[in-house]
Structure 1
Amino acid sequence: MPDAPRTHAGTPASRFQLPAGPWVTVFDALCACFPAIAAERWRDRFARGLVRDANDHALALAAPYRVGANIRYFREVADEPVIPYVETLVHADANLVVACKPHFLPVAPVGAYVRETLLTRLVRRLDNPALVPLHRIDRETAGLVLFSANPATRGICQALFRERRIRKQYLAVAPPLPELSFPYVHRSRLEPGEPFFRMREGVGEPNSETVIDVFARGTDTWTYRLEPVTGRKHQLRVHMAALGAPILHDRCYPGLEDQRPDDPERPLQLFAHTLAFDDPITGELREFTATVGPM
């Protein structure tokens, strides 16, 4: 079968590492690991060369399963919602790309979103299917996201996050906390909550830490500067809610609100505001500031 392009309809591939299991073929493993996707859809993807190995070679339907194998596949979603908000390209060089994401735009393909993601938009805009996000921020959060643009230097760029050599600061609008002394350090144990996409604070040794300071004081709300020391899912949102100051317009914390369409007049007031690190290739200090901020 001839190789297909590294993008499909301008959409980059999703990546998946095959876990341990009893399967005979890659097809069997994918059907088991993604039960929400019909087997017929997987057969169609294999037939069109949309399931590929780590070297970007199309896999046959009978390709043998191997634990730990890295698979690339192209997702397709019918009737994908259009997100009318536009990202800003902040920086681009041969190794790193920084973009400022608007509210409601996912960083990478997930759920009902494939084309309408920051990654897919940047792949098209920069004509670089090798782009990979080095970290994620929530769909509801706006602000800076850092991408690797070069597979040859990706490992040392990923180490910035793994070794905590990158400084990230967020701005958040929330109720005042006059009883606290700032800067305040909040530590807790975060664990999966209910439903599955929420997190909660549990009992036990802390696995999350946030440094909280006041950026500006208002009458009804304050703007806080949040610096996550760890990078747990929904960490900043859970920590602020736990302190009694949930971030303005948070639909998940402290309680889950009824599902409703995204409201551009009431976006979550959380912004990935700055990124700072020593460039792992050149050694120079890199500092970036978001082009969006509190309303």
Structure 2
Amino acid sequence: MTRSRKSQISLEATPYYHCVSRCVRRAFLCGVDALTRINYEHRRQWVEDRLLWLGEIFAIDICAYAVMSNHVHVVLHINVLQSRQWSAEDIVMRWHRLYKGSALSHRFLKGDAFSPAEQQAFEALVAQWRETLTSISRFMAVLNEGIARRANAEDRCTGRFWEGRFKSQALLDEQALAACMAYVDLNPIRASLADTPETSDHTSVQMRIVCAKASKQPSDLLPFVGNPRADMPEGLPFKLSDYLELVDWTGRAIREDKRGFIAESLPPILTRLNISGKQWQQLTQQFEKQFRCFAGQRSSFEKVRDYFQLSRTPPNLLAT
């Protein structure tokens, strides 16, 4: 039975989630329609721009993304700590970038004095908006709605553009996070849209590589902060150099002329995460099929089972 999005997301279990949205009609989201020969390639930039724009507004960090011909992959990190640090003005200003707001929120920005009842109502409104700005469901809804409206206007049609529900997978541990990010970043290579990660347009890995050449990390993406440690700052628990090496090695391993090839020496991140080369290839080539709503080791799921209110262990989890 299909599970609601709310039941698939638990901040107590993990802040990392893989989301996928797919088109419902034959017309492409992006790329060239083989039947009509109409080129929709420009829509990739629509999606990428809107995705990064929403990352500026929500308390949700973007770890990885790939804009494909008829679907979009994104790995998200819910940053509750960041939302808690925002002032009421921060919340209102961010909300107004998405919606018109309310009479109270506009009066607040003007500096009007509130009565006790109005102040209480305003604080309740801010609390509601603060929670919404950490919602993956709202994030994906705003992303998809904006693209659907533009695409329908361009196509001069009406009706649903995306599937009714986006797919969500909880990434329960570092192994699942690393595998899923590589899976997302290598989508264009598996689809023969690019030969290398650096030529994979409208992907997070291309953005990271461009910035890495300038010895920096992109401000629009959640940064890599190195191996887990006590004083670890907010960010991905890997080294950027290790991840780029990992993606490059994985991409070479899944090429048509080298299918099933396993490198003699694994990247440091694989050794640290205790994942075999054969298992890694399986994960990064078939991540969506390998897992359903939850991705990670069986032992990782057992630790957070109660948060998702499941009586049975999901199939296809990794052995510890």
TM over 0.5: no
- If asked which structure has higher relative contact order (CA below 8 Å, sep 6+), I would say 2
Identify, as 1 or 2, the structure richer in helix: 2
Identify, as 1 or 2, the structure richer in strand: 1
